[in-house]
């Protein structure tokens, strides 16, 4: 515990008293932060976890923000729709929604690392808006994560039906149905995470609750000051162990088990259908046109594989956190798993560039147009030609 500074013999004003208390609480935050893993001397775990949390994850999320912005720039170009059928447009809309949810996750992660103070006690000098964001960040972040998961599921189901049951697909896979599915996913993600808004609540306490240490800072002459501090307190609902266990189990099923089952089945069926499609294309390549319905399938298969590899560890570790032998070990593992989670929401831009030749061409076209746009009139015609370029980012390279 930080030693309270000696009280000045002169009378303190309320503002001076509050300032001294704030400085004292900041010292408490610093000392508490340095003792996170000191109970069992696991400084190695602390160093690894801090390096991942403070350096690597923010760097990945910055890349994710830039990548998802570029995804939206490419995916929202009106010219793209001219070469798509209704089913491709539906899948394309799903990719746009996925880019938005991934962008929100990366943005929230950046704010919690770079904007929100790393402290457990907020003082009157701190922003009250940042404090409330600190309290409810977990719930908002989980909404973005769950929405992203189920958007991937919706796209996988749509593509599975479109590829494996094409006669039935044309009847209900359309833009209106996709918009409705996206809206249902977003509302479902909010409803599923409502209990997390009661996980913590903003607690406002008088400075006198801090005990004798704060009494030494009391202004001489008995000046009455409205001094209080803010802290994040656990809600009563989460004091019920039965509720916590049931909610954790239900959320584990909704966020991992059920999506993983659906995505695995869809992935196997899509891979089989894709292999069969490429086999037929090799046999009849000279006369048969390219099937536009299969253009987006490899991209979606890659998304499913990445979800399985990068999301599963975080959800499993969070579910079994009470079974870990030590808190430092848990923190190291969950921080490493969170790094994989951040990569999952940041890597789609790289994925599209690697497996989608038309996505690369579109990026190149946008960059070329931006450069040419700075050139004066002799190049004006060329710049205009760029804006009319029509490509289909749902189309992937067909050589396997």
Q: What is the CATH number of the domain that holds 109?
A: 1.20.1070.10
The predicted structure's pLDDT at residue 12: 56
- Which pLDDT value is given to residue 184? 95
Question: Which helix or strand (DSSP H or E) is residue 162 part of?
Answer: helix 128-164
Tokens 């997390």 identify what position?
196
The pLDDT assigned to 104 comes to 94
Q: Same domain for 172 and 305?
A: yes
Is 383 found in the same domain as 272? Answer: no
pLDDT for 364 equals 81
Give 230's strand partners: 122, 204
Whether the CB-CB separation of 38 and 16 falls below 8 Å is answered with: no
The whole-number mean pLDDT for each consecutive block of 10 residues of the chain, a chain of 400 residues, reads 48 64 65 48 60 87 93 77 66 88 92 74 80 90 94 87 74 81 95 93 78 57 63 86 92 93 87 74 56 58 84 88 79 87 90 77 78 54 42 38
Sheet holding 121-122, edge to edge: 121-122, 228-234, 200-206
User: Do 389 and 292 fall within a single domain?
Assistant: no
Token pair belonging to 165: 């049951």
**Looking up tokens 């189309």, which residue turns up?**
395
Q: Are residues 239 and 298 in the same domain?
A: yes
Task: Read off the tokens for 54.
Answer: 């403070």
Q: Does residue 43 sit within a domain?
A: no
180 and 164 in a common domain: yes
In a domain? residue 49: no
Q: Write down the pLDDT at residue 378.
A: 46
CA distance 371 to 278: 38
Contact between 1 and 24 under an 8 Å Cβ cutoff? The reply is no
Report d(CA 346, CA 110) in Å as an integer.
12
Assigned domain for 308 exists: yes
Closest CA to 17 of 218, 235, 307, 316: 218
Q: What is the pLDDT of residue 290?
A: 47
In a domain, 145, yes or no: yes
Question: What is residue 358's predicted lDDT score, i.e. its pLDDT?
Answer: 75
Residue 221 falls within a domain, yes or no?
no
Q: Could you give the 3-state DSSP secondary structure of residue 289?
A: coil
Question: Contact, 109 vs 271, CB < 8 A?
Answer: no
Q: What's the Cα-to-Cα distance from 390 to each of 95, 118, 366, 367, rounded to whole Å? A: 18, 48, 12, 15
Say yes or no: 341 and 380 in one domain: no
Q: Which residue has the tokens 């697909």?
A: 169
Evaluate whether residue 41 is within a structural domain: no
The answer to whether residues 194 and 292 belong to one domain is yes
What is the model's pTM? 0.78
Whether residues 233 and 345 fall in one domain: yes
Report DSSP state, residue 39. Answer: T
Residue 217 · residue 17 · CB < 8 Å: yes
Give the C-alpha separation, 241 to 235, whole Å: 12
What distances in angstroms separate CA 196 from CA 234, 250, 274, 315, 322, one per listed residue? 11, 13, 41, 16, 18
Range of the domain at 289: 61-214+227-355
The contacts of residue 28 (CB under 8 Å, 6+ apart) are: 1, 2, 121
Residue 391 lies in a domain: yes
Is the residue at 35 inside a domain? no
Q: Supply the pLDDT for residue 396.
A: 39
> Cα 299–304–307 angle (5° rounding)?
125
Co-location of 166 and 231 in the same domain? yes
Tokens of 206: 């008088």
Residues 302 and 365 reside in one and the same domain = no
Helix (H) or strand (E) holding 272: helix 258-284
| Domain count for the chain | 2
Residues 237 and 371 in one domain: no
C-alpha span between 221 and 277 (Å, rounded): 87
pLDDT of residue 388: 37
Question: Cβ of 53: how many Cβ atoms within 10 Å?
Answer: 19
**∠79-81-86 over CA atoms, to 5°?**
175
Same domain, 269 and 350: yes
Predicted pLDDT of residue 15: 67
pLDDT at 249: 93
Q: How far apart are the first and last CA of the chain?
A: 63
Q: Which residues contact 14 (CB under 8 A, 6 or more apart)?
A: 219, 223, 225, 226, 227
Residue 212: what pLDDT? Answer: 56
């Amino acid at each position: 515990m930080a030693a309270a500074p000696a009280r000045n013999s002169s009378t303190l004003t309320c503002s001076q008293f509050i300032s001294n208390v704030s400085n004292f609480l900041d010292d408490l935050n610093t000392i508490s932060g340095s003792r996170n893993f000191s109970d069992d001397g696991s400084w190695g775990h602390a160093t690894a976890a801090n390096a991942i949390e403070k350096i690597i994850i923010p760097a990945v999320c910055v890349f994710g923000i830039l990548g998802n912005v570029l995804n939206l720039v490419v995916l929202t170009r009106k010219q793209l729709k001219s070469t798509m059928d209704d089913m491709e447009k539906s899948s394309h809309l799903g990719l746009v929604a996925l880019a938005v949810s991934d962008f929100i996750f990366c943005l929230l992660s950046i704010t919690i690392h770079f904007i929100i103070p790393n402290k457990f006690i907020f003082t009157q000098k701190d922003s009250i808006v940042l404090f409330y964001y600190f309290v409810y960040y977990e719930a908002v972040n989980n909404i973005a994560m769950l929405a992203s998961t189920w958007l991937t599921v919706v796209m996988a189901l749509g593509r599975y039906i479109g590829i494996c049951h094409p006669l039935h697909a044309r009847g209900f896979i359309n833009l209106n149905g996709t918009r409705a599915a996206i809206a249902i996913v977003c509302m479902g993600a909010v409803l599923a995470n409502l209990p997390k808004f009661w996980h913590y609540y903003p607690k406002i306490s008088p400075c006198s609750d801090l005990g004798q240490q704060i009494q030494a800072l009391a202004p001489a002459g008995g000046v009455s000051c409205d001094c209080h501090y803010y802290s994040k307190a656990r809600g009563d609902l989460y004091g019920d162990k039965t509720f916590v266990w049931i909610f954790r189990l239900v959320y584990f099923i909704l966020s991992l088990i059920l999506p993983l089952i659906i995505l695995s089945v869809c992935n196997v069926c899509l891979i089989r259908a894709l292999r069969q499609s490429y086999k037929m294309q090799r046999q009849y390549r000279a006369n048969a046109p390219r099937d536009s319905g299969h253009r987006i399938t490899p991209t979606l298969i890659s998304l499913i594989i990445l979800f399985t590899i990068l999301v599963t560890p975080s959800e499993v570790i969070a579910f079994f956190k009470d079974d870990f032998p030590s808190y430092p070990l848990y923190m190291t593992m969950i921080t490493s798993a969170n790094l994989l989670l951040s990569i999952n929401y940041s890597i789609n831009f790289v994925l599209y560039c690697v497996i989608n030749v038309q996505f690369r061409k579109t990026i190149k076209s946008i960059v070329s147009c931006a450069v040419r746009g700075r050139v004066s009139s002799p190049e004006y015609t060329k710049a205009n030609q760029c804006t009319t370029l029509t490509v289909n980012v749902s189309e992937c390279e067909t050589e396997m």
